[in-house]
Amino acid sequence: MDRRVVVTGTGVISSVGNSTADFWDSLKNGRSGIGPVTRFECGEDYRTRIAGEVKNFDIERYMSQKEAKRLDEFCHFAVAAADEAMGQAGLRDGLGGLDPDKVGVLVGSGIGGILTLETQANVLLTRGPTKNSPLMIPMLITDMASGCISMRYGAKGPNFSISSACATACHAIGESFWIVKRGDADVMITGGSESTITPLAMAGFCSMKAMSQRNEDPLHASRPFDAGRDGFVMAEGAGLLVLEEYEHARRRGADVLAEIIGYGATADAYHITSPSPGGEGAAKAMAAAARVAGVIPEKVGYVNAHGTSTPLNDKFETAALKTFFGEHARKVAISSTKSMTGHALGAAGGIETIACILALRDGVIPPTTNYEHPDPECDLDYTANTAVERAEEYAFNINLGFGGHNAVLAIKKV
């Protein structure tokens, strides 16, 4: 188990940019991608009418219109992000002589093809069961992103999907880390993708009263850790990485962007939507990641927090950080990039792991924007409103999901 796992490619589709470079430029400059919903007629019956939509996305840059019609949009985003990640890894035109049996794909989605489900449910109700598309099932199942990517590149290694709500992509990357580390693959294409800005998904989250209702002020609606936070802002997109065994990457001359050195996964076993009071499960996931990484808490300089902008998450996540880091909690730089991107659900862990990699690479901590009113229960350094130049060697990415799922990745600068 002494195999090192490094990152050789990243790809991002997000509300703040459709490439890693554009995404990172937006984060460093505090630009928000949140605005009124345009995907459908989102009237006043919806408590929340804002979201972090992907903009100016053209799937025909990546595949034919005929092929695109056979896939749900969450697969479109995944394929596009994989294209960028594989290109950066030097593999866009195929596996380039790599053993296809040692290249795997593990891309997750929290909800999968919900737009396909909504569309086909309407067909059933209005036209009858004989009119449903024979492609409905393959379009909506969450593992199809992994399947499509494997077919695109001829990757015949481990191939499946993970779905753990908002922890999905973090779990996918973590499990891919172990797959490479134990030798089941030399390369893994991994992360998460989500496309849920649809009438049904919006209605469901509105009924939960989980989302911000700052409809007249979308740029300031996502405000993690701020005392005035009133819910998360849903977003969409994909964040994919190419993970590779270090010596394998070195032999083929690939650029190494960062090293994944640890992964922890736990459960709260408490409630279907609420985090456990005190953040015990998240703290244990951090401890597990640190143990695998062989890193003491005091070495971790940056944490990309789950930071959803919901009253309970931010309070209990702060408590978890204090439990794990102890006195060092007041010295570590923390930020929630969801303040700018919105919450991309099952894709969040991929997008935010890439933010950690870039923060370590460039020595820049992206901000938590809209932090205006300190909350006595959220009293750590959240890198308020403006990016900070700060060189760090180690970072954590934290993602937590409905159902009590906790996932943490430990990342090292190279």
Q: What is the set of active-site residues?
A: 166, 306, 343
User: In angstroms, rounded to a whole number, what is the distance separating the alpha carbons of residues 301 and 309?
Assistant: 22
Q: Judge contact between 241 and 387, C-beta under 8 A.
A: no
SS3 content of the chain, % helix, strand, coil (to 5): 40, 20, 40
Amino acid at 68: A
For 77-90, give the DSSP string: HHHHHHHHHHHHTT
Long-range CB contacts for residues 140-143, cutoff 8 Å, separation at least 24? 140/72, 140/112, 140/113, 140/114, 140/116, 141/112, 141/113, 142/108, 142/109, 142/111, 142/112, 142/113
User: In angstroms, rounded to a whole number, what is the distance separating the alpha carbons of residues 298 and 287?
Assistant: 12
Q: Extract the tokens encoding 203.
A: 């209605």
User: In angstroms, rounded to a whole number, what is the distance separating the alpha carbons of residues 18 and 52?
Assistant: 13
Report the relative pairing of strands 103-108 and 159-160 from DSSP bridges. Answer: parallel
Q: Which residue is it, tokens 């059933």?
A: 124
Which positions ≥6 away from 126 have C-beta within 8 Å? none
Report the relative pairing of strands 405-412 and 394-401 from DSSP bridges. Answer: antiparallel
Q: Extract the tokens encoding 272.
A: 């279907």
